[in-house]
Structure 1
């Protein structure tokens, strides 16, 4: 159950319509998903969130589009965001993610969760070498 209702006709607001039009153009689609529709209750929040998503996820950068989606999936799993897991898994598949890559991603996420919890539970001190210190036994 949602915490608020989806605006009935969000595109009556010119600011919302402009963002939705940009989403359609950027993604080459006519579809506006539920996240954007829900955010339309606050045009400023919608604008700023889309600007961040567009800048980081839809603009060419040092990371390729599939890698960005894989990172997004991993973080969404960690944050227990079912919506984003589904959305970004679909996006990763559209960008070429194979079943084998998905399985490996899930294995890595599970491994990271396990070792993170072990290191946290044991309060393992950070190795000096990880912070640029000398390598033990090194020259």
Structure 2
């Protein structure tokens, strides 16, 4: 038998926090997410995390500091596009379709075209394969970075 419509319509394993009804710390964080990420709505990921305001605050603080350091008054050695490419690569490797879509959207907003996305994903696929080979063969590292 096929999936029931209730399962197909469900968007998470918990009820998402209503963006309009959010208050207190959650409201502050939701507003900061929209401002920092230049969005007109709070994405579902954050609405799910808001079921635990402390967890929402922790994850948003980490993400804001690393992915949007300029918003925290910090300068990053990596530009915004590079940070998003890394996020996309890890998300693709981990098989997170939510994150792949989110980071692909962010890269598209930065002007990244389909050919560039294809190149990023080809590199991801290449290194997932070569990493598996090196790990499977248990090759001893012999190309070592200098210690600073």
TM-score of Structure 1 vs Structure 2, range by shorter chain: 0.7 to 0.9
Give me the TM-score of the superposition, normalised by structure 2.
0.82
Structure 1 residue aligned with 2:28: 18
Residue 19 of structure 2 contacts residue 30 of structure 2 at CA under 8 Å; is this kept in 1? no
Matches within 5 A, 1:1-139: 2-8=12-18, 11-60=21-70, 61-127=76-142, 129-132=143-146
Counterpart-to-counterpart distance in 1, 2:115 and 2:82:
15
SS in 2 for 1:36: helix
Counterpart-to-counterpart distance in 1, 2:18 and 2:24:
15
Residue 18 of structure 2 contacts residue 47 of structure 2 at CA under 8 Å; is this kept in 1? no
Aligned pair in 2 of structure 1 residues 122, 27: CA closer, same or farther (>3 Å)?
A: same
Partner deviation per Cα, 1:20-52 (whole Å, 9 max, x = no partner): 111122123321100011111011111111111
Tell me, which stretches of 5 or more residues in structure 1 are unaligned?
Answer: 134-139
Q: How far has the Cα of 1:5 moved from its partner?
A: 1.8
Structure 2 residue aligned with 1:137: none
RMSD of the TM alignment (CA)?
Answer: 1.8
Q: How many residues align?
A: 132
Partner deviation per Cα, 1:64-119 (whole Å, 9 max, x = no partner): 11111100000001111110000000001111212121111011001001100100
